Structure 1
């Protein structure tokens, strides 16, 4: 009985961790990818005067900040030192700097959660698949974890597609202090990362994670039937 309970716990840990592992992994992959170079070819140019080269430079500098290993308070100088073109004025004002501290804190938390889920899945599956008598449980965990990812990410993708404005607002209200994430269209954060930028990235992240979930589901199904 104790062994059966332990196996069920391991299986459910894998199932629950899988959507986080695949979904958050897509977020980190997009941050690491040179996404602005792709996206800036698709959206309108900055109406307040950034050249394409300047816009890309500032976007890269901002993403480099998010990928630094140091805490936000130690790395924020990278953004504080940025200046507007041909000016001594800072690129980001105090409210933008405060928001970018919050964004890096969130990014660092996502990275930590991703690593935790990665370890849970690798250790759990390693334990189950290393023993022939337990492999069926491991295969079912892969299959059901994939299904959980498909269901959750399909819901998110549909929400983004039909209710983007609501999704965008609720996402920010949930994760950031009220009023700290709204800016003027002339502020650098909006000029570099307009709403279309975020809509497209939301589609890529949710669609990519959904596709990964389908692949994992098919793999788990195939392994289960192969037993």
Structure 2
């Protein structure tokens, strides 16, 4: 009996802790899509490219996004050229894109692990009568943690976005391998304002889904506590 209580308690803790991280990783991937790119480039605060037309910029950005989430090798990007036949990406940019793809792959694998862990924990607590009624409470707590962190980031990060942007790259990339001249393709496609907007969109997405989970958990809890006729 004690072992069972420990297991159920551990599962409850995992639900509360894992859910925010699972949401944070899962909501990253909609940002690597043609729809998000189109939405971003339509925003007036994203500066236009001085090298590419809007159509070219969209097409090249979609190619970069496709590379990150597909099984394509780096030759996929290396073979892209502009109208004059000049390679679209230089060697430094290609090396960085390889590094980014590795990071995206690691995030995807971690997301799967967290999703399986969360599903298993939910399955265990729901399967047991003594913990089933408390499951919506665990989800409600989890739905409060994620938006609390996201709202804090929405307030704090814009005040020091450049520092945050640089520190992120220092953590995940080697040296100055992520720094490029403004004329390079990666900067023409993805200027700093693009990433600022992407960060805000990501945090708002986390908040929105957390609110939906919280509302669902609240309704579930109310119904579970309501007297049966």
- Normalised to the residue count of structure 1, the TM-score between the two structures is 0.91
2: CA distance between counterparts of 1:80 and 1:24? 28
Instruction: List gaps (5 residues or longer) in structure 1.
Output: none
* Gap runs ≥5 in structure 2: none
Q: CA RMSD in A?
A: 1.6
Mapped to 2, the partners of 1:44 and 1:183 lie a distance apart of 17
Structural mapping, 1:1-227, within 5 Å: 1-42=2-43, 43-47=46-50, 49-68=51-70, 70=71, 75-87=73-85, 89-226=86-223, 227=225
Q: By how many angstroms is 1:33 displaced?
A: 4.9
TM-score of the pair, normalised by structure 2: 0.90
Matched residue of 1:23: which SS?
helix
Q: Distance in 2 between matches of 1:83 and 1:179?
A: 25
Runs of 4 or more, structure 1, over 6 Å off, are none
Count of residues in Structure 1 that have an aligned counterpart in Structure 2: 221
The C-alpha deviation readout for 1:110-163, integer Å capped at 9, x for no partner, is: 111111111111221122223333213322221121122122222222233322
**Distance of aligned partners of 1:178 and 1:196 in 2 relative to their CA distance in 1, 3 Å threshold:** same
C-alpha distance in structure 1 between counterparts of 2:208 and 2:160, whole Å: 21
CA contact (8 A) 2:89 2:185 kept: yes
